[in-house]
Structure 1
Amino acid sequence: MTGRDPFLQANGTMKNLLGIESAGELAVAEADYAAARTVQMREGSAPAATRGNFDLAHLKAIHRHLFGDVYEWAGTTRAEPLTIEGRTVGQPPLLMKGTTTFEAGNRVNARLEAAFDRLRAENSLQGLSREEFSQRAANLFIQINNAHPFREGNGRTQREFMLQLAEQAGHPLNFDPISQERMIVASYDGIQGEGSTMRRLFDEISNPDRVAVLERGVQYLEGARQHGARWEEMYVATTTPGREYNGQLAAKGEGFFVMASEGDVLVGHPQDLPEGHGRNVTVKATEFPSEGGGVQIGLGRDLDY
């Protein structure tokens, strides 16, 4: 890309409606506004366009509602004409984050329209078992993320879109105990054509019994911050029934244990720990015991992946 990026101020901070010049201050303000707008959507007081149709217009409406207080281009994809500060400007043809290059801007809308046409043909994933829903929903999430239709705010927009889709399909999701590192890994794998990481993630966050155990493990890890540990920067997942794990036990509490295995942090149920175990353990994971109730939907953290 040549020339100045039309989205950025001279100091590199995103141009915004709030007149903020510090990137740090902008990130805080953006998070606060988006969190408030998220509450409106979940309470049903947001514009009707932010719910229900599960098409490109719906996705754009969610983005516009979440970020319209901060960016005048909110709700505009990378394939569409862009107005910033009263001027129509050309959008960069490519979007890169780190070493990852997303879909070319001029192909974004067509790719998403095709994905949403398939979704409509599949009755918005209604009438499926939880397992089948989680796999198809993960594949859709990968397709939307690979397109990365907006310059900023893709992660939060995708998450709200998927939460609504899951609620309507009868299989609620909970992204709250998913670490930033895990989402980054799953998203990167999806871009590389490997969808199993994201499908595992969706299988977990659609399963209320696994989510309950994962949340207990995350609460323990949150408490470990005083020792310098940041669970958001770790790959944290639940054990997969039928698999065997070797590693070091970090903690055991009521209804959960946490262990380190092959560079990951795994959360499982104490029923799988061997009798008389020490710090080094071998765990054969079994099905998580049913605790009743549904998956709790929280606001989540203000992260984009």
Structure 2
Amino acid sequence: MTPQDPEAGQVPENLPGLTDPQELREFERRMAFVRVNELDRNPDLVTGDFDFPHLQRIHAYILQDVYPWAGEPRRYGQETMAMGMPHCRAEFLDAEIRRVFTAIDRHRPSPDDRDAAIVTVADHWGELTGVHPFRDGNSRSQRLFFDRYLRQSGWALDWTQIDASAVHAARHVAMATVDSSYLAATLRPGIHRLGEVPTGTLIATQDTRDASRSVEIFRAMIDHKRAGRTADTFTLFPRETSAETPA
């Protein structure tokens, strides 16, 4: 997060002119839900070839009602962090964006091999998590981006079969360790052939990530990895009801 992030107790510039961080968080959640729902129902509202401008258009659409900088990458001094780790510094964003999106373009999900397809997406998503190109809204926009990226190769994710808190944790394990196997393992239960997944699972699971549980899972995954164990032997602990965070 940035020093101006509402979760840090300060309020960034916003279109409705809200000055209370809690009010801004709630407004952002509501409006992003509306916009993601529109994109989920009508993918043609934002199209592209899975390059960075495509992600920018998705981000700009989702947060168009909230921030004047929606769709714009972070600038110098706008640093962010998660799980106690800093994301890519703003001055290095251009180079890192080029590197990650070159790989996203060149190494696309296999249309034939289910496991290879999800491993490819996990590799790219782990890298993009570390880049964190926008001040806010990265998780929402990346989730929709990679959902569509898989669909282009003939696969679809049933998000109701995927633990959103574990995905967030595993993305940051990939960022911390350059090991995306935990993310692949977390996404794997949801991948199916296109046409086998009911419509609306992405929006049905919007805002279901539990922030504190994500931190606990992240620590558990790191400990599991440090003990020399592999992602396929990691077991999630049961979900508990607590505060939700935008996914």
Interval containing the TM-score (normalised by the shorter chain): 0.7 to 0.9
Q: Does 1:103 align with 2:76?
A: no
Match of 1:265 in 2: 238
Deviation string 1:227-286 (CA, Å, 9 cap, x unpaired) is xxx898375xxxxxxx889xxxxxxxxxxxxxxx7x7239xxxxxxxxxxxxxxxxxxxx
Cα pair 1:93 1:106 within 8 Å, conserved:
no
**How many Å apart are 1:162 and its aligned residue?**
0.6
Cα pair 2:157 2:191 within 8 Å, conserved:
yes
Deviation string 1:90-130 (CA, Å, 9 cap, x unpaired) is x31532235111111122232222222222223x3253411
Q: Does 1:233 align with 2:213?
A: yes
Which among 129, 132, 151 is matched to residue 113 of structure 2?
129
The DSSP-based 3-state class of the residue aligned with 2:130 is helix
Match of 1:281 in 2: none
Q: Does 1:156 align with 2:132?
A: no
The DSSP-based 3-state class of the residue aligned with 1:42 is helix
Once the two structures are superposed, the pairs formed by residues 1-305 of structure 1 within 5 Å of their partners are 5=3, 12-44=10-42, 47=45, 50-79=46-75, 91-92=76-77, 94-122=79-107, 124-193=108-177, 194-207=179-192, 233=213, 264-265=237-238, 303-304=246-247
The DSSP-based 3-state class of the residue aligned with 1:172 is strand
**How many Å apart are 1:55 and its aligned residue?**
0.2
Using structure 2 for the length normalisation, give the TM-score: 0.73
Cα pair 2:126 2:174 within 8 Å, conserved:
yes
Residues 187/118 of structure 1: CA separation in 2 closer, same or farther (3 Å cut): closer
Residues 98/42 of structure 1: CA separation in 2 closer, same or farther (3 Å cut): closer
1:200, 1:56 → 2: CA distance? 26
**How many Å apart are 1:133 and its aligned residue?**
0.2
Cα pair 2:4 2:11 within 8 Å, conserved:
no
| Relative contact order higher in (CA < 8 Å, ≥ 6 apart) | 2
Residues 162/105 of structure 1: CA separation in 2 closer, same or farther (3 Å cut): same
1:147, 1:177 → 2: CA distance? 27
Deviation string 1:25-78 (CA, Å, 9 cap, x unpaired) is 21121111111111222232764xx22310000001100000011000000111
Cα pair 1:173 1:205 within 8 Å, conserved:
yes
Using structure 1 for the length normalisation, give the TM-score: 0.60
Residues 174/113 of structure 1: CA separation in 2 closer, same or farther (3 Å cut): farther
- Partner AA of 1:68 in structure 2: Q
- Partner AA of 2:17 in structure 1: G
Residues 93/45 of structure 1: CA separation in 2 closer, same or farther (3 Å cut): closer
Aligned pairs, number: 212
State the percentage of identical aligned residues. 21
Residues 134/17 of structure 1: CA separation in 2 closer, same or farther (3 Å cut): same
